[in-house]
Amino acid sequence: MNRSRIVALFGVVFLVAASFYTFLQTESWLSIYGYLDLGSWASRSFGGIGNTNGDGDDDDDDANETLTDAELAVQSKFTDDVLPRTSEVSYTSRNLTSGVKYFIYSPSGGFNNQRIEMETAMIISKMLNRTLIVPPMGKHSSFYGRYELLTPTQVVPMDKIFDFRVMNEFVPCVPIGNFRLISYVKELQARYDVRILFHHERQNWQERDIIPQMGRVRSRILFLRGAEMYHNWNFAHSHTSKMFTTVRFTEGIRRVASDCIFSAFPDGRFNAIHVRMGDYSPRTPSASVYERQMANRGFKTDVPLYIATEPSTPKSYFREICNKYKCFFSKDLDTPLLNKFAEAVPQGQIRMDMLGVVEQLICVAAVKFVGTSFSTFSLKIAQMRSFKHFAFPEFHRPSGNETTSKQSDPSNELLGDGNGDGDY
């Protein structure tokens, strides 16, 4: 074999390897699993949890991946005093209300991506006049297929995080408990007419397209399944503003945040910044940029500063800032109620995500705030501050300069080089 053929062969091998690697970074390989498990994207009814196809696999898989009624009861008893439910709908019931149609969606990404997806689904459900079935919050999962593989110990029901009693004022919402989403949908398919439509990655939806494309679906349950549903939805301001004033954290979570705030800042007055680091650190502005923005926004050096950032962020990054301000980090939050809250959720990434919710509320309560524009963590903080009278009424200061009952532009509190994308 001459040299040119060897070079050509190596080139072919390289291209095949690169293509395979790219394939693994997309939704496609995960979609194969979902396709086999749920049937085609246009599937109406496929069998279900009761092994109606006689393949001998469904019962064993679901026995390992869903909680029994007894396990749910134990978990509920353990967490309800810290994370009480805000919906009276049973997690284990699959009896849908007669004459009511339902909408389900695919979560993915980190917690704030999943929150955006839930909020998007609320607007879609309202437009379609359907009741929204809300999947649980799962640990960070890069693709929707990975979310669908999360086990019961890697998720927390959304009605323990958000107040469904208020959300129901915008659109009726039904939470899913500690169940794999695929298992839950399969149970529904065994009993009801389920239509699955596929949402393509980066598909750009205009509000005017939703009724023509989804409104004609007559199936009892419409499942919009696919990639990155936190991107590229364009709704009228009238829809988004009404929705934002019906989505807030539960009173229990707000109580934990309040406890942390008054433990660290007895008079309740402090400023806050959020610095997105981790895998997004190349895009993160230097500490001096944050420092200048803080000065421009009138941060006073005699007012304590809370810094929300990944625990792995080198403290040397904040050296100059902390030389001017008395700084507090997540490690400085140590209250019995916070510890009880942390113990009420599974260990690992899901616990860190839930503690991040507390940090968000701390930043919402701050007198002044500066965040990072390409982080959905910062974006949701700024949005909640725009509706602080609703999002965190315990810390609404109508006479202050930062937030009143009138909505403000959340981008005014963010700096960076792009739109919200990174979750923390």
CATH number of residue 334's parent domain: 3.40.50
Domain that holds residue 179: 33-244
Determine, yes or no, domain membership for 23.
no
How far apart CA 172 and CA 38 sit, in angstroms, is 26
- 8 Å CB contact between 333 and 261: no
- Strands 137-138 and 155-156, by their bridges, are antiparallel
> Which residues in the chain come in under a pLDDT of 50?
21-37, 39-66, 71, 74, 77-78, 399-408, 411, 417-420
Q: Domain check: are 219 and 331 in the same one?
A: no
Classify residue 192 by burial, with Cβ atoms within 10 Å: 0-12, 13-18, 19+.
middle
DSSP state letter for 245:
T
Cα 96 to Cα 10: distance, rounded to the nearest angstrom: 58
Report the number of distinct structural domains present in the chain: 2
Q: How far apart are CA 172 and CA 129, in angstroms?
A: 9
Do 146 and 202 fall into the same domain? yes
**Model pTM above 0.85:** no
C-alpha–C-alpha distance, residues 322 and 407, integer Å? 32
Residue-wise burial string across 349-375, b where 16 or more C-beta atoms lie within 10 A, e elsewhere: ebbbbbbbbbbbbbbbbbbbbbbbbbb
Distance CA 413, CA 420 (A): 13
How long, in residues, is the chain?
Answer: 424
Cβ(103)–Cβ(121) below 8 Å: yes
Q: How remote is the C-alpha of 282 from its chain's centroid? A: 24
User: What is the phi/psi pair of residue 381, to 5°?
Assistant: -60, -50
| Res 383: pLDDT | 93
- The answer as to whether 10 is a domain residue is no
Q: How far is CA 269 from CA 265, 276, 302, 304, 367, in A?
A: 6, 23, 11, 8, 7
What is the sign, positive or negative, of the torsion defined by CA atoms of 336, 341, 343, 349?
A: negative
Of 244, 275, 298, which one is at a domain's C-terminal end?
244
- What values do phi and psi take at 271, rounded to 5? -110, 170
Pick from 244, 268, 287: which residue ends a domain?
A: 244
- The Cα–Cα gap between 7 and 21 comes to 21
Together in a domain, 215 and 326: no
Looking at 244, 267, 282, which one is the last position of a domain? 244
109: left (phi over 0), alpha (psi -120 to 50) or beta: left
Q: How many CB atoms lie within 10 A of CB 280?
A: 18
Instruction: Name residues whose C-beta falls within 8 Å of residue 45's C-beta, 6 or more positions apart in sequence.
Output: 189, 190, 193, 194
- For residues 232 and 267, state if they share a domain: no
CA 368 to chain CA centroid, Å, is 24
Domain match, 229 and 257 both? no
Which residues, in sequence order, are CB contacts of 40 under 8 Å at separation 6+?
Answer: 196
The answer to the question of residue 8 being in a domain is no
Check residue 347 and give its pLDDT: 77
- Does 25 reside within a domain? no
- pLDDT 10s digits, 92-134: 888 888 899 999 998 988 899 999 999 999 999 999 999 999 9
**Residue 17 domain flag:** no
Mapping DSSP to helix (H, G, I), strand (E, B) and coil, where does residue 369 land? strand
Q: Are residue 148 and residue 256 in the same domain, yes or no? A: no
**195, 46: one domain:** yes
- State the burial class of residue 408 (Cβ atoms within 10 Å of its Cβ: 0-12, 13-18, 19+): middle
